[in-house]
Amino acid sequence: MRSASFRLSAILAAALVLGTAAGPLAHAAAYDQPDPPAVDARAVVVLDYAQGDVLYERNADLYIPPASLTKLMTMHVALKAVELGTIGLSDIITILPEETSPILPYGSSLMYLEPGMRVTFDDLLRGMAVVSGNDAAFAVARVLAGSSEEFARMMNDEARALGLSHTRFVEPSGLSEQNITTARDMAEFARLYLNLHPDALDSYHGRPSMEFPRPEVMPVGVPPPDQRIVLRNRNELVRRYEGCDGLKTGFIDESGYNLIATAERDGTRVIVVTLGGSGGKETRARDGAAILDWAFATWTTVRPQAPELPSLRVWGGASSHVDLELAVVPAFTVPADLAAGIDSRVDLEPDADAPVSRGDKLGTLTFTRGDQVIRRVDIVAARDVPKGNVLQRLKDAILKFFSRLFTPKN
């Protein structure tokens, strides 16, 4: 069965990271592609990592509690604090009784913190990413904000800043059904997260296991475990699917089984979000693998060579020319059968009038395959060119007049 034509909505990574309303600077084509296999989920989004194109969606804007996908925002706030110098990865955190298993729901995901343990902040982040430790999430919230309620305010501030308009949090772990999101928001946030924290996959989410507790973290007077304890990553695809290195699983009764999976093969990275499954952890992993298989068989990320761009004449400026650059890196995902034989064409404005600001659109680079347009990328000014002095402007006004006078019109 053929799908409807899915509009590949190009999302500029920089614009998303800054939380701006800037329009897309790379313009995608529309393609008819076969649907992925049916999966056990109420909502599904498959996102291309390179430009943020939606490769497939179903019920993408349905509100569903994220469950432990919430911890991805908790990780983001924590990693941002590390990057700002608010806290260090090696800082030692003493665990309080209210952050340990006796006060958390029975069967809750834990890294098995105990009162009086002295663990590094890095341990807590790994505990959230690998084993989805609710205890770790509450400890991080207390350390950074003093309480889970204040930390939730920080999470919501970040969600708004990142443009996640359908996502709201009331606590850091995902246990509450009052946390709410959509598959679209989670997919876009996952891509932002990867861009903002490029080392997080290797350091945290892509690890198949972690050792905890270790002898050096035990409370005073409490003997270490008799043997080494290894906790496995709750995201089974990290252990079982080639190329999968993240990101998060989640489950509460009110949401069902949730998944954000990302994998890379041969230079193509995709993000898969499934929310609201009912069939269990094995079904969630099997369905995630099936959609990833479909994505890699159907789509390919290409990085065509861009031509060298000339400079452009600027009239009345402090400089007579402005250098040009592409608004985004020409890397985008296309149907696999269109990946070879891509050509390009440059279309530029004949000139520009000062002032010119960096980022002003001055042309288009169009990638084609035969007669089919694959992608258009804006060509923009690479620097500012302010207005020149009076003499420069007068000289250029005369030159421009005669240039236009003797330039043949099409």
Give yes or no: residues 231 and 342 share one domain: no
Percent of the chain with pLDDT over 70: 92
* pTM (2 d.p.): 0.89
Domain end among 249, 267, 283: 249
Q: Is residue 293 part of a domain?
A: no
Supply the CATH number for residue 401's domain.
2.60.410.10
Domain end among 227, 249, 271: 249
Q: Is residue 271 part of a domain?
A: no
Give yes or no: residues 105 and 227 share one domain: yes
Helix or strand or coil: residue 125?
Answer: helix
Paired with 26 in beta bridges are: 377
Q: Are 57 and 46 in contact (CB under 8 A)?
A: yes
Q: What is the pLDDT of residue 28?
A: 64
Domain end among 207, 222, 249: 249
Q: What is the pLDDT of residue 304?
A: 95
CB atoms within 10 A of CB 250: 27
Q: Is residue 15 part of a domain?
A: no
Long-range interactions of 277-284: CB distance < 8 A, separation 24+: 277/39, 277/40, 277/41, 277/42, 278/40, 279/40, 281/236, 281/249, 281/251, 281/257, 282/236, 283/40, 283/257, 284/40, 284/249, 284/257, 284/258, 284/259
Q: Are 95 and 116 in contact (CB under 8 A)?
A: yes
Q: Is residue 384 part of a domain?
A: yes
Q: What is the pLDDT of residue 305?
A: 93
Supply the CATH number for residue 132's domain.
3.40.710.10
Give yes or no: residues 214 and 118 share one domain: yes
Segment 172-204, tens digit of pLDDT: 999 999 999 999 999 999 999 999 999 999 999
Q: What is the pLDDT of residue 406?
A: 72
Q: Are 251 and 257 in contact (CB under 8 A)?
A: yes
Segment 86-104, tens digit of pLDDT: 999 999 999 999 888 766 7
Phi then psi for residue 83, to 5 deg, are: -65, -30
Residue 395 belongs to what domain range?
A: 312-406
For residue 189, the surrounding DSSP H or E stretch is helix 183-196
Domain count, the chain: 2
pLDDT by residue, tens only, the chain of 410 residues: 333 333 333 333 333 333 333 445 667 677 888 999 999 999 999 999 999 999 999 999 999 999 999 999 999 999 999 999 999 999 999 999 988 876 677 678 999 999 999 999 999 999 999 999 999 999 999 999 999 999 999 999 999 999 999 999 999 999 999 999 999 999 999 999 999 999 999 999 999 999 999 999 999 999 998 899 999 999 999 999 999 999 999 999 999 999 999 999 999 999 999 999 999 999 999 999 999 999 999 999 999 999 999 999 999 999 999 999 999 999 999 999 999 999 999 999 999 999 999 999 999 999 999 999 999 999 999 999 999 999 999 998 989 888 877 776 65
Q: What is the pLDDT of residue 100?
A: 86
